[in-house]
Amino acid sequence: MSILINIAYLLSISLFIFGLKFLGSPRTARKGNLLSMLAMLIAVLVTLLDRQIVDFVYIIAGIILGGLIGTVAAKKVQMTAMPQMVAVFNAFGGLASALVVIAQYLRFPDQTVLSNAVTIPLTLFIGMLTFSGSLMAFAKLQELIKGSPITFSGQKILNFILHLAILMLIVLFVLNPGIDRLYLLLLVLFISGLVGITLVLPIGGADMPVVVALLNSYSGLAAAASGFVIDNYVLIVSGAIVGASGLILTNLMCKAMNRSLMNVLFAAVGQETDPGAAAGKRVVTRYTPVDAAMILENAQSVIIVPGYGLAVAQAQYALQDMVELLQKNGTSVLYAIHPVAGRMPGHMNVLLAEANVPYDLLKDMDEINEEFQTTDVVLVAGANDVINPAAREKGNPLSGMPILQVDQAQSIIVIKRSLSPGFAGVDNGLFYDQKTMMVFGDAKEMLLKIGANLKKE
């Protein structure tokens, strides 16, 4: 029986791997997700066959309750709120792992196996850290607490002490088998919660993509760690794969901002800047939506650079309406998506897909950067730092960050409320470029006006 169960677990693991493989192309991605669902279903059903399980009341109640909440959440959530959603799910995953290992300890408190003595408190640490850190990230993304970095003196020392305390508690736990060690676990639980909070507090709103990806990785590692505790390979393998996935995305996000993970976590970048100070006395070319419409109509090729501001203004639908008119005119239109264009990796693609933009028009930075030179008009809506040429110079916060080479296009239209610098606080020279036309106003309103003026022709 046990062999059959293990073979079924292996099948489940294989299906997870195929599921993720199919996620590599938009054509097969949906099928991939379905395969992962099937894998999970097999893992759950097979577990229920286990001889250890004799009581199904709590299981059925738990699955129904969790399933209902999960379904409602998944159906109701707005696409702009995806990062918060993933943060909350991360939190729950971490919490579940933590609960599992505490319960496992309560069932077998006298276990003296060394490996378990290490993995139980360690899993608890990762799980609780994921839980509290993800909740903090959620609160920041949802703007329940302010998004800018919260720092206080002695933060680093506190962090060090907390980690040291965890280490000591794990050692104490290992060295004292045979006595009631629940109080040690409760201390680990409490301190790990604090570690999660102090980890996320000093991180600014625009760095949240990195943090959400990192916490995603932790939730996987927590699952893998709990697999060590209950000796289950499905947990170990799936958790490890998710851990790896989160690490890759974390790394990609860091690269896209040209920052190290250490810098993101500890440098508290994104303190509120004084927007007035950076704006110089340089001249900008101010255009109306009517002028912009005329320029777009005469263009053969247009690249659109959307930023998160566009999605906040819910302007992606107005944008798509305008683009459809251009396409009817015979203009070729592409979208240039910077890796950090949204609030989580790939977020902007989802927001545009929701507005019916076909995915083959969504180009990532490496694909599109060569095209700018041969493009007539670039339309920038809601993006700033990711197109700032200052990134090519030395000695400013943006230096070295990979940017979209917008300034190489023939002409540039920028829709923006004001000249204020972006998150990094660096004035954007592109706005003062002779070939840049600034259209000042709300993105949605301006795009609607441009669209209206296109229709008249």
Q: How far is the CB of 184 from another protein (least distance, A)?
A: 16
Q: How far is the CB of 221 from another protein (least distance, A)?
A: 9
Sign, CA dihedral 404-406-409-413, equals positive
Strand segments, DSSP code E, in 30-153 are: none
DSSP assignment string, 408-431: GSSEEEEEES-S---TT----GGG
Q: Which two tokens stand for residue 366?
A: 């490496």
Q: Which of 207, 321, 385, 433 is catalytic?
A: 385
Q: How far is the CB of 378 from another protein (least distance, A)?
A: 20
Among residues 343 and 416, whose Cβ is nearest to another protein? Answer: 343
What single DSSP character describes residue 433?
Answer: S
Among residues 173 and 431, whose Cβ is nearest to another protein? Answer: 173
Please provide residue 403's backbone torsions phi and psi, each rounded to the nearest 5 degrees: -125, 165
Edge-to-edge, what's the strand order for the sheet holding 436-440? 362-364, 332-337, 301-306, 377-381, 411-416, 436-440
Among residues 220 and 421, whose Cβ is nearest to another protein? Answer: 220
**Cα angle value 184/244/256 (rounded, 5°):** 115
Among residues 125 and 431, whose Cβ is nearest to another protein? Answer: 125
Which of 373, 369, 372, 403 has the alpha carbon at shortest distance from 387? 403
Which of 92, 248, 108 has the alpha carbon at shortest distance from 177? 108
Q: Distance of CA 57 to CAs 60, 97, 157, 316, Å?
A: 6, 21, 47, 47
What single DSSP character describes residue 81?
Answer: G
Which burial class, exposed, middle or buried, applies to 286 when counting CB atoms under 10 A from its CB (0-12, 13-18, 19+)? exposed
Kindly compute the dihedral angle of the four CA atoms of residues 443, 149, 404, 306, in this order, to the nearest 10 degrees: -20
**Angstrom distance (rounded) from CA 308 to CA 110:** 53
Among residues 245 and 314, whose Cβ is nearest to another protein? Answer: 245
Among residues 218 and 431, whose Cβ is nearest to another protein? Answer: 218
**Angstrom distance (rounded) from CA 255 to CA 247:** 12
Q: Which two tokens stand for residue 115?
A: 């490996």
**Angstrom distance (rounded) from CA 261 to CA 79:** 27
Among residues 18 and 440, whose Cβ is nearest to another protein? Answer: 18
Q: How far is the CB of 232 from another protein (least distance, A)?
A: 6
Q: Which two tokens stand for residue 273?
A: 């800047």
User: Which residue type is seen at 155?
Assistant: Q
Among residues 105 and 431, whose Cβ is nearest to another protein? Answer: 105
Which residues, in sequence order, are CB contacts of 361 under 8 Å at separation 6+? 333, 334, 335
Which of 72, 130, 68, 66 has the alpha carbon at shortest distance from 98? 130
| Whether residue 385 lies in the annotated active site | yes
What residues are annotated to the active site? 385
